[in-house]
Amino acid sequence: MADFFQGLVMGFREGLEAFLIIAIMIRYLSQANKHEYKKHVWTGASLGVLLSVVIGFILFLVSRALGNLDSIAKLWESFASFLALLLVSTFIVWMIKNGSNMVKDIENKIDINLSKFGIITLSFVLIAREGTEIAIFTFAGNYSLISIFIGILASLILVILIFYSLVKVNLRTIFNITLAYLILQAGFLLGYSIHEGMSAFKDLGYLASTNPIFTKLFDLSSTVLNHKTGIIGIPLYVSIGWYSKPEIIQFVVQYTYTGLMFTFWYLQIKKSRNHLKKE
């Protein structure tokens, strides 16, 4: 249930970003009376989706091939989680810096790349980025495909309603909520990567089970705070990537990363407000 909810939110978040990008590009080209370029948006978006599916299929084959090799599978999961972390961290930083000006940023890029090749490339890169994140997140986080699909479908319906002015929503609020959740999930991926990596090195004989690196910060797995079965632990696991018996290094690194990201976000908001006051 926890993994289903995480997959649902992740699919909604990434799908919302992708569909909004397409909607922004289509609307701007219509307003600029450049209707002949709109078909190139769809061409680029389709190529971006295709690349994402190919990457997802490759990850699926690799995961299945390593499925019976427990130690190697743990190494793969550790690597995939870290790769997803790098990708999503880049996106988080971009969103924190430019999220409030996303529409203007895309419109400026359209003006700069206003040609058949330019529009196809721009649409392709923007959509491929979102699709690749979904593909890597799916296999790094072990999310169910159906939960991701439902999340993407929900985001598509919302964007269609917004595009045709059938509903009015505060997109900034939605983006802020989902961005906060994304930061927490990125921290979770980092903690998961460390945990699985250490476990793999232990199974392969490179680290002894008595190594101090495996020292637990606490063990609450027999309480309601158990992250897999506990009535309180499961919601905490879904929301903040909680583990009921984390290694010290896992806990410290995971929440240091999370704290630094939220601090960076706060400083950027403060910087933007000070800039507006000066104007």
> Greater confidence, 102 or 113?
113
* Residues facing 216 on adjacent strands: 247
* DSSP calls for 129-169: HHHHHHHHHHHHTT--HHHHHHHHHHHHHHHHHHHTTS---
* Highest mean pLDDT of the ranges 33-37, 165-169, 235-239: 33-37
- Is the pLDDT score of 73 beyond 80? no
The closest alpha carbon to 195, from 272, 250, 115, belongs to 250
- pLDDT > 90: percent of the chain: 25
Measure the CA–CA gap between 74 and 68, rounded to whole angstroms: 11
Q: Assign 247 to helix, strand or coil.
A: strand
Measure the CA–CA gap between 17 and 72, rounded to whole angstroms: 34
The closest alpha carbon to 244, from 269, 218, 270, belongs to 218
Q: Assign 216 to helix, strand or coil.
A: strand
Does residue 138 contact residue 56 with C-beta atoms inside 8 Å?
Answer: yes
Measure the CA–CA gap between 97 and 78, rounded to whole angstroms: 28
Tokens 């219509």 correspond to 30
pTM of the model: 0.79
Tokens 């269609």 correspond to 160
Q: Assign 15 to helix, strand or coil.
A: helix
Lowest-confidence range among 174-183, 204-213, 243-252? 174-183
- For 10, how many CA atoms within 13 A lie in the half-sphere containing its CB? 33
Measure the CA–CA gap between 29 and 44, rounded to whole angstroms: 15
Give 255-267 pLDDT, tens digit per residue: 999 999 999 999 9
- Is the pLDDT score of 63 beyond 90? no
Domain ranges of the chain: 2-214+247-278
Read off the amino acid at residue 62: V
Q: Is the CA virtual torsion 167, 173, 179, 180 positive or negative?
A: negative
